[in-house]
Amino acid sequence: MKTKADIENLPPFYSGYVTHVAHLPHHEALVWSNEQLQNILLNVSEERGTYAYAPGKWTIKEVLAHIQDAERVFAYRALRFARNDDTALPGFDESRYAPESNAHARPVETHLKELNRLRASTIDLFLSFTPEMLRRTGIANGNRISVLNIAYVIAGHALHHVKILQSRYGI
């Protein structure tokens, strides 16, 4: 079973995420992207967690909550499609989720622990899928995507935010 990203059948919007991890098997991509995220966040202080690089932009804690929210949504999509559920799934409005995430009520350390537990659960989910399940596809946010490619989107999305945290937040 091919366990690398299927770039030809990837909705174009996600290609920027997937290029970060397309060279790895899907489970390794999930592990590696989490390691990268955890490594850059190890020394983020509680005070720094409330930093936003410009007015109207998310704080570091809100970025972390967004990564968690997106991973949950994508993992749910993968579960539905892997279980052969052909119901088209809606998109989600990340700009509406962030202010409702309660991100600032939780310490940075709590976000990091939650990210680790969530990623471990996501990895377990994808490792439970058979090759046939990984090949299955479904419609999410008006785009057809495979279960396998969703793993790459999850991993690449986290790395996309690692790069933003480094370049715009100075982490």
Q: Which structural domains are found in the chain, ordered by start?
A: 15-169 (1.20.120.450)
Average pLDDT over residues 53-70: 97
Distance CA 63, CA 57 (A): 9
Place of tokens 């309660």: 102
Average pLDDT over residues 32-59: 96
User: Structure pTM?
Assistant: 0.95
Distance from the Cα of residue 16 to its chain's centroid = 13
pLDDT of 81-138, one tens digit each? Answer: 999 999 999 999 999 999 899 999 999 999 999 999 999 999 999 999 999 999 999 9
Average pLDDT over residues 138-157: 97
The pair of structure tokens assigned to 76 is 């749910």
In this model, does residue 155 exceed pLDDT 60? Answer: yes
Distance CA 135, CA 145 (A): 10
Q: How far is CA 138 from CA 9, 73, 141, in A?
A: 12, 14, 10
Phi, psi of 140 (to 5 degrees): -135, 130
Q: Which residue, 18, 34, 132, is CA-closest to 84?
A: 132
- Confidence band (pLDDT; 50, 70, 90) for 78? very high
User: What percentage of residues in the chain have a pLDDT greater than 90?
Assistant: 89
In this model, does residue 42 exceed pLDDT 60? Answer: yes
Handedness of CA 73, 75, 78, 83 (dihedral sign): negative
In this model, does residue 1 exceed pLDDT 60? Answer: no
